[in-house]
Each structure stands twice: as structure tokens, then as C-alpha cells.
């Protein structure tokens, strides 16, 4: 009788081992430590892979630029993502993918409160990968990751060493400003998405990692955020991020991730906010300042990433693009093979729909990405997927 009772108890124990409840109650089947909750320093551990610039602050992982986010691998069925929003100007939109889904066919999370927990569920209890990527801009609010929790265990991320890293720099044109909207609409965080911009679309064509330095209204020298030429994309490039008050965050970026491909779309705001409003000598003086900034910035990029190819984009006949192109010929011979001007599609070109706030639609962004992919394959050894 005692043997029968022991056998019954053993059978019940085996049935309970590994059973799934809501979160964090999976009994380990071996002596290895199982990690089911990530917070504080674990948010930048081997269990999370980050896209773009981020920093640890007050036990949270802060990320500012658009198209910044993370990937996590876990064995389980449920994962809770806790995010924080401060200095809110607008709701923040995130794209979430499960396993092999595309960020373009995503589940959307909308962060509207100071702290929110989002539950993402899968159909099966097995190995899964989740991606959470912000598609709103720095001006919309400051975001941070507070914690991740699963009902199973987290697995260490294995990176793809061969994938190229893209550095994507610019203003509204490359941030997906209004890309999902239509003509006559104002820009909102709902109808805007950097993940539907030609910069991200190009990087994804090569299955590359990506890092944005961008914000609507900002220029290379002058912009709507600051017409004096003090706070601009060149200063933001050296920083960890931009805040919603249109200031550069006073934390130096270490440029630890060296890009293989750099895409630049900048200069329109320099002209519309300052240069085009002037005439005569004053205008020529500002154009000269802009050109000087183009040269300085290219040399900075070349110093930081000497093997990277820089693809500077312009629309046909644009004044800022023409001015930038005139600088390229003045570069040293060793620099010139690494800098390329690429003419992309203008808003509404080919009769395509216009996006919100007079910006390019997703259709136009797709066409511009195709042009860039062709240029990258022409000048580098990288090949699109």
C-alpha cells in the first residue's frame, strides 16, 4: 500500500512540474537558474538586444529616438512588457512582433500613461522572440523600459554577426512624419511611423540593425527647433537623444556601435526655416554656413566610421541637396569614394498619394527605399534579402 501511495504522489508531482499558470510559477526541472523577470541592470544584459541608442537611468532603460527598441527571446507563452512615459506631448506608438512577423504587419501598442504594462500572448508554450520598437519621435515624449516578465524563462540573445548596421540621420522626411496619413490631415503619432519610412525600409531589406538620429523640424545647421544654428542634428549626433522640449539631452553618446551604412536626409528644414526667408548677402552667408556644416559633418562621420558608405539623399532639384552635392567635390580623394548622392522620390511624385501634413506617404517611402537599395548594392558588397 505504501508503494502505491508513493507512486501516486510521484505521478502528481511530475504532472505539476512545468505547468503554466499566469506568470513566474514554472517549476524548474533542473538545478540551473531560470530567469523569468528582467529589471534594472538586467535590461541591458545578454537577455535583451537593443536597437538604437539607450541609457540606464533610475533603474530603467531610457530610449529617445524613433525606431528605437529591443528584442527578447524566451521560452513560455506570456510576456508582460512594462513601459514608462514622462514629459508626455502625445501618445507613443510601438510596433510589436511575435517570432518571425514583420514590424510592418505588427500589433500596435499605445503608451498613454506614466507607467503601463502590456501583455503579449502566444499560442504555444515554447521558444519565442518578441520585438518592441517605438515608431513615434523624441518630441512626443520620453520613454523607458521598466521590466519584462514571462511565465517561462528568458534566453540569451544570439546576434547575427554578418548583418550590416545602419545609421539613419535626418528630420521629418526620414522619420516617417505623416507617412500613414493622407492629404489634408495634421500629423499625429497615429498616422506617423519611422518603420514606414524609407530609412528603416532600406535597412530591413538587408536584414540590418538600425540606429536613428532624427526629429521632425530639425536641420543640419538651422531648423524650426532653433534658427540660430546652435542646437541641430550635428549636436544631436553626439548625444544619447533629444527630449520633447526640442533640446539635446546632455549625455554624450560613445559611438560604440560603428555603422556599415549611413543614410542621411537633411537640409530641407535649414532652407525652409531660415535660408529661404533671407535675401542678398544674408542669404548667401547662411548658404555658406550650411555648406560648411555639410563638410564638417561628413568628415565627422568619416572619422567615426571610416569604412562606412554614406548615402546622402535629396529630391530632384532640391536647393539643399544641390548645395550639399557641391561640397562633395571638395572632399579629399580618399573620402570621395565613400560618399554618394542618391536622388529619391519627392512627395506626391508619380501621382502618388500625399501623406499627412504635406509629407511623403508610405507608397513614396517604399519607392525611395527601392532606389536606395539599388544604390547600396551598386557601391557596397551588401545584398538585400
DSSP-derived letter for residue 382 is -
pLDDT the model gives residue 279: 98
pLDDT (0 to 100) of residue 162? 80
Q: If you write DSSP's letter for every residue of 111-162 in order, what string do you get?
A: E-SSEEEEEEEEEEEEEEEEEEEE-S-GGG-EEEEEEEEESSEEE-----TT
pTM: 0.91
Per-residue model confidence as pLDDT tens digits over 128-137: 999 999 999 9
State the pLDDT at residue 2: 36
Number of neighbouring beta carbons within 10 Å of residue 130: 20
Burial of 235 (C-beta count, 10 Å sphere; 0-12/13-18/19+): middle
Residue 161 pLDDT: 72
Q: Does domain 37-155 have CATH number 2.60.120.260?
A: yes
> DSSP class of residue 286?
H
Cell, residue 162: 554578418
Check whether 235 has a pLDDT greater than 90: yes
Closest CA to 372 of 265, 294, 297: 265
CATH of 165-379, one of 1.10.3720.10, 3.20.20.60, 3.40.50.1110, 3.40.50.300: 3.40.50.1110
CA distance 74 to 46: 12
Tens digits of residue pLDDT in 246-293: 999 999 999 999 999 999 999 999 999 999 999 999 999 999 999 999
Q: What spatial distance separates the first Cα and last Cα of the chain, rounded to whole Å?
A: 65
What is the pLDDT at residue 106?
Answer: 66
> Tell me, what's the pLDDT at 29?
41
State the pLDDT confidence band at 385, using cuts at 50, 70 and 90: confident
Whether the Cβ atoms of residue 262 and residue 167 lie closer than 8 Å to each other: yes
Alpha-carbon gap, residue 249 to 242, rounded angstroms: 5
Task: State CA 237 to chain mean position distance.
Answer: 14
List the chain domain ranges.
37-155, 165-379
pLDDT for position 135: 97
Amino acid at each position: 500500500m505504501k508503494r502505491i501511495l508513493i507512486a501516486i504522489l510521484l505521478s502528481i508531482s511530475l504532472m505539476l512540474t512545468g505547468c503554466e499558470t499566469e506568470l513566474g510559477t514554472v517549476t524548474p526541472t533542473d538545478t540551473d537558474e531560470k530567469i523569468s523577470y528582467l529589471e534594472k541592470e538586467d535590461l541591458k544584459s545578454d537577455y535583451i538586444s537593443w536597437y538604437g541608442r539607450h541609457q540606464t537611468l533610475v533603474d530603467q532603460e531610457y530610449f529617445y529616438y524613433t525606431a528605437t527598441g529591443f528584442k527578447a527571446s524566451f521560452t513560455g507563452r506570456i510576456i508582460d512588457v512594462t513601459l514608462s512615459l514622462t514629459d508626455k506631448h502625445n501618445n507613443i506608438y510601438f510596433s510589436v512582433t511575435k517570432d518571425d512577423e514583420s514590424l510592418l504587419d505588427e500589433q500596435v501598442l499605445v503608451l498613454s500613461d506614466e507607467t503601463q504594462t502590456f501583455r503579449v500572448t502566444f499560442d504555444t508554450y515554447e521558444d519565442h522572440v518578441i520585438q518592441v520598437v517605438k515608431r513615434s519621435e523624441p518630441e512626443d515624449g520620453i520613454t523607458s523600459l521598466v521590466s519584462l516578465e514571462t511565465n517561462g524563462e528568458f534566453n540569451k540573445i544570439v546576434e547575427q554577426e554578418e548583418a550590416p548596421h545602419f545609421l539613419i540621420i535626418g528630420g521629418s522626411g526620414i522619420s516617417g512624419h505623416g507617412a500613414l496619413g493622407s492629404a489634408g490631415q495634421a500629423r499625429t503619432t497615429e498616422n506617423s511611423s519611422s518603420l514606414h519610412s524609407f530609412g528603416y525600409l532600406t535597412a530591413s531589406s538587408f536584414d540590418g540593425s538600425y540606429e536613428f538620429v532624427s526629429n521632425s523640424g530639425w536641420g543640419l545647421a538651422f531648423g524650426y527647433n532653433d534658427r540660430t544654428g546652435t542646437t541641430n542634428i550635428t549636436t544631436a549626433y553626439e548625444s544619447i537623444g533629444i527630449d520633447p522640449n526640442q533640446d539635446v539631452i546632455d549625455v554624450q553618446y560613445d559611438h560604440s556601435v560603428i555603422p556599415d551604412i549611413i543614410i542621411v536626409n537633411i537640409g530641407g528644414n535649414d532652407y525652409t526655416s531660415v535660408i529661404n526667408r533671407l535675401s542678398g548677402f544674408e542669404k548667401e552667408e547662411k548658404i555658406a554656413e550650411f555648406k560648411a556644416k555639410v563638410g564638417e559633418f561628413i568628415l565627422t562621420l568619416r572619422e567615426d566610421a571610416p569604412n562606412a558608405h554614406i548615402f546622402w539623399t535629396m529630391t530632384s532639384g532640391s536647393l539643399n541637396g544641390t548645395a550639399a552635392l557641391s561640397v562633395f567635390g571638395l572632399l579629399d580623394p580618399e573620402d570621395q569614394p565613400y560618399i554618394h548622392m542618391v536622388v529619391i522620390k519627392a512627395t506626391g511624385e508619380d501621382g502618388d498619394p500625399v501623406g499627412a501634413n504635406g509629407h511623403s506617404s508610405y507608397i513614396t517611402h517604399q519607392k525611395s527605399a527601392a532606389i536606395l537599395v539599388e544604390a547600396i548594392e551598386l557601391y557596397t558588397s551588401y545584398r538585400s534579402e
